[in-house]
Chain A
């Protein structure tokens, strides 16, 4: 399997989906770029170049640069999805849902429930999240839990290029509205990715490794940190299971609980805000359904409950590190770690 970046794996998935189904089109701000500008066409290919080259292959009928009018174009994609197309929309940064949230909160998520089973909204919305490159408070958030809170939409958080490709293809083929979260600091992460099309089912967690002592449940970019921390713990004789839920709605509770029961100790690692977030949600599920099997309180590794700061030292302090995860692993097995002063 060729080594591929996250960016290229996503780009590949989009191309394959567009080749396979003429009803798939992509839409967003600067996803081609250069429209009517005097320089290059496809000048950007998206702010992170994930959609580069699409306009060359599929033309501007299917690759649509939009005005900065998120309510209009997200709503438009919903209407197009309701009438036989399969839109893939990009909301450049997750924060920009602030402009158009109604289209998710009250519209796409509820149509099927309110109008009946005929009312399909086969929509995929790609967006970016996470701390990276000093993007500051309005461009760095990890806000997927806001969407997982809402019944009627599916929420995907891939952690590596292989999953990203298979999950994006599954999302586009899915008949429900799907929100697809890409970490802005992960586009250059490489992994083995097959060239052909394949789908990874939504709602199926991936158990990255199995151990005896601690189950780490981690999301998105935090999966890598969990793997590194598990390696550090292994050097101290502690063996870890790592579960990557891959989708947070639906959430594969079965796999999570099965792994938790095997180890009895749980660390959840999430880059999202700690209150009402995925980490606390998973902890609550574990407490409700596997309490008898727990040998220690569930430990959560998240940022503090603050916006994302700009200054590089504060940004580094904000986001969870491998050491934070290692310290949490050691703490749940009652060993001393060097937890950072926070």
Chain B
């Protein structure tokens, strides 16, 4: 795959922005800001950004997300300031402060929302793919979901239907090994790639901490969808750098597990090593991005902290389009 400096810089900026944003969010949570159930995405940035690398940041291409949605929101081109405001429950958040961390969305860029119900969003991607096919837009839909979600009936039903109708959808399984505190090996039979293959869906497994592996697999899958080849499945093995949700004591982890994941499986480090080694992006440029992404994240969170809450009457609005 031809890699332009410009696209790589953009991708790295997004990955770094996700990481920096969540570092500040984690700090804010430790300072007793309450976000409900906030699930941080950090560790899997290469997956969201690598997949969205091939998507238009418009309603042509749709992603459906999960409870762990911040990364997908930023990768699909959502505005980090509106994201921060939503997570803090502010008037100027992406959902006017009424959705919160698990329900961030920006349909204008094709980010169709986080979701608090595990597995529920996979069929929505199916529907978006159906619309694209029906209206011949050339659009593609991507259903992100976790290893835990992969055991939900709705996900299997969606995969079956996608293949039977040759819909332009890509299922991306972000496998961090855990569903909350329970390890996948305890609850999950078979392996994800052969499950998908059982439906006749072309399926591959990649290291989700390797941006370049993700863009290769996603490029093939999305191209297949765009050209009428039907659904694909990508299994991304990703590390989870924070707890399942903010405030969870992580007693299910081994001692030193997270430190080791951060040391060995950091997609940002991997990216830097590769692009510097292959002289695709200069180190100084990466450093500059680190700094500006960190500033951008800090500014978004600082602004959200002090922003106004929604007005009282927002409680009653947007239950319906018409009353």
Q: Which of B184-192, B268-276, B284-292 contacts A (4 or more CB under 8 A)?
A: B184-192
Dominant secondary structure of chain B at its interface with chain A? loop
Q: Which of B150-158, B162-170, B204-212, B226-234 contacts A (4 or more CB under 8 A)?
A: B150-158
CB contact between A40 and one of B116, B252, B309 (< 8 Å): that residue: B252
Q: Looking at chain B, what size class is its interface with the partner chain?
A: 35 or more
A70 to B153, CA, bound (A): 9
Is there an interface contact between B37 and A68, defined as CB atoms closer than 8 Å?
Answer: no
Is there an interface contact between A138 and B34, defined as CB atoms closer than 8 Å?
Answer: no
Is there an interface contact between B182 and A37, defined as CB atoms closer than 8 Å?
Answer: yes
CB contact between B36 and one of A69, A310, A313 (< 8 Å): that residue: A310
Residues of A contacting B309 in the complex (Cβ-Cβ under 8 angstroms): 311-314
Q: Which of A93-101, A109-117, A169-177 contacts B (4 or more CB under 8 A)?
A: A93-101
Residues on B lying within 8 angstroms of A by beta carbon are 34-37, 89-90, 95, 97-103, 115-120, 148-149, 151-154, 178-188, 250-254, 257, 309-310, 312, 314-316, 319
CB distance from B85 to the nearest CB of A (A): 10
Residues on A lying within 8 angstroms of B by beta carbon are 29-30, 33-40, 43-44, 47, 65-72, 95-96, 98-99, 133-139, 304-307, 309-314, 317-318, 341-342
Which residue of the partner chain B has the closest CB to A71? B153
Is there an interface contact between B316 and A95, defined as CB atoms closer than 8 Å?
Answer: no
Q: Given A29-B179, A318-B315 in contact, is the A43-B251 Cβ separation under 8 Å?
A: yes
Is there an interface contact between A34 and B103, defined as CB atoms closer than 8 Å?
Answer: no
Q: Given A306-B316, A306-B319 in contact, is the A43-B252 Cβ separation under 8 Å?
A: yes
Which of B37, B179, B182 counts the most A-chain CB atoms under 10 A from its CB? Answer: B182
A43 to B89, CA, bound (A): 30
A36 to B251, CA, bound (A): 13
Q: Given A34-B182, A44-B181, A65-B182 in contact, is the A138-B251 Cβ separation under 8 Å?
A: no
Is there an interface contact between B315 and A306, defined as CB atoms closer than 8 Å?
Answer: yes
CB distance from B289 to the nearest CB of A (A): 32
Is there an interface contact between B188 and A67, defined as CB atoms closer than 8 Å?
Answer: yes
Residues of B contacting A306 in the complex (Cβ-Cβ under 8 angstroms): 315-316, 319
Residues of B contacting A34 in the complex (Cβ-Cβ under 8 angstroms): 181-182, 251-252
Is there an interface contact between B116 and A95, defined as CB atoms closer than 8 Å?
Answer: yes
Which residue of the partner chain B has the closest CB to A98? B117
Residues of A contacting B310 in the complex (Cβ-Cβ under 8 angstroms): 309, 311, 313-314
